């Protein structure tokens, strides 16, 4: 009698497409993203597994999971078909994230946290998608061919729980990221893995959702990290990462006008 066939795990996901597939429905949100800096560190997949929503698992490259610290400027934010939101539609966002794949092969981003300043925009993103936004005072400065981001979380509602941040003597998480983008273009399997992400997974009301987006491929260049004073990674459970050099530092060219991104409505996935 032959031995039973071994149980098969989830099938390997397909390769990430370099151009965004069509959205599964009409676009509901449009934004412009520019002045992006992508800092990434290799980590053991087991470290990010607790962040994965039900029905997803860590997406890996060369056997490693990756944790990113990504600041950028979000502008021209619009709830379609309405025009961009006046005054509140432009702000700095800084996210800590890792990468996911579900049983259907959908590959995306899982956010550990997202810092942003306009409270109405933050509350709207939380209500629509359940994303772990944090209210912060954040800004950007460009000078002498370099770009600097600063952010400090505010004391206010923890938007995923509705609870106020505890009043302790401990400082709230902050970050200072100073980088110098080059003019050397980058297009490698790793850069595509880290940036060709056409959706995100999140847990919302007890269900795992997947929200697709589309935009042109990132115009990436090499960048030099000049300074990093960061507490956001530690607040997300990765206290050791800011103390060591990132394994990948990329940016978008300073002169680039930014890319237009559109999101479809989120849909629940099978788990």
With b for 16 or more beta-carbon neighbours within 10 A and e for fewer, the 42-53 pattern comes to bbebebbeebbb
Give SS3 for 125.
Answer: helix
Identify which of 103, 90, 108 has the alpha carbon closest to the alpha carbon of residue 32.
90
- Strands 27-34, 37-43: pairing is unpaired
Model pLDDT, residue 16: 73
Residue 9 lies in a domain: no
Q: How far apart are CA 52 and CA 72, in angstroms?
A: 24
Give the residue numbers spanning the domain of 68. 27-255
Model pLDDT, residue 270: 86
162-213 per-position pLDDT tens digit: 444 444 455 899 999 999 999 999 999 999 999 999 999 999 989 999 999 9
CA atoms within 13 A on the CB side of 241: 25
Model pLDDT, residue 86: 76
Q: How far apart are CA 110 and CA 40, in angstroms?
A: 14
Residue 197 lies in a domain: yes
Residue 105 lies in a domain: yes
Identify which of 102, 134, 270, 126 has the alpha carbon closest to the alpha carbon of residue 205.
126
Residue 22 lies in a domain: no
The count of structural domains within the chain is 1
Q: CA–CA distance from 38 to each of 121, 134, 157, 203, 218 (Å)? A: 23, 20, 28, 24, 11
Residue 44 lies in a domain: yes
Give SS3 for 232.
Answer: helix
Model pLDDT, residue 122: 73
Model pLDDT, residue 83: 87
Model pLDDT, residue 170: 59
The model's pTM is 0.89
Residue 10 lies in a domain: no
Question: Hey, what's the torsion of the CAs at 268, 69, 13, 260, to 10 degrees?
Answer: 70
What CATH number corresponds to the domain at position 247?
2.40.400.10
Model pLDDT, residue 148: 98
Give SS3 for 43.
Answer: strand
Tell me if 58 sits within 8 A of 65, measured CB to CB: yes
Model pLDDT, residue 119: 76
Residue 51 lies in a domain: yes
Weakly modelled stretches of the chain, pLDDT under 50: 1-9, 159-168
Tell me if 28 sits within 8 A of 79, measured CB to CB: yes
């Amino acid at each position: 009698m032959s031995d039973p066939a071994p149980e098969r795990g989830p099938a390997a996901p397909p390769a990430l497409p370099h151009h965004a597939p069509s959205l599964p429905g009409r676009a509901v949100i449009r934004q412009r993203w520019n002045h992006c800096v992508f800092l990434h560190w290799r980590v053991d997949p087991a470290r990010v597994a607790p962040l994965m929503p039900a029905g997803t698992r860590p997406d890996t490259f060369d056997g490693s999971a990756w944790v990113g610290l990504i600041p950028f400027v979000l502008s021209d934010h619009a709830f379609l078909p309405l025009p961009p939101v006046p005054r509140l539609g432009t702000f700095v966002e800084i996210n800590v994230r890792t990468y996911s794949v579900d049983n259907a092969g959908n590959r995306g981003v899982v956010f550990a946290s997202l810092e942003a300043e306009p409270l109405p925009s933050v509350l709207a993103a939380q209500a629509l998608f359940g994303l772990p936004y944090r209210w912060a005072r954040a800004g950007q400065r460009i000078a002498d061919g370099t770009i600097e981001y600063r952010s400090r979380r505010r004391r206010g509602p923890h938007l995923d729980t509705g609870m106020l941040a505890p009043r302790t003597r401990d400082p709230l998480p902050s970050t200072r990221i100073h980088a110098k983008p080059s003019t050397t273009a980058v297009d490698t399997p790793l850069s595509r893995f880290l940036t060709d992400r056409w959706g995100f997974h999140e847990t919302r009301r007890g269900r795992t959702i997947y929200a697709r987006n589309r935009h042109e491929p990132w115009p990436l260049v090499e960048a030099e990290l000049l300074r990093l004073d960061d507490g956001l990674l530690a607040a997300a459970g990765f206290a050791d990462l800011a103390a060591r050099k990132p394994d990948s530092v990329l940016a978008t060219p300073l002169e680039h006008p930014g890319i237009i991104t559109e999101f479809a409505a989120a849909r629940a996935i099978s788990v």
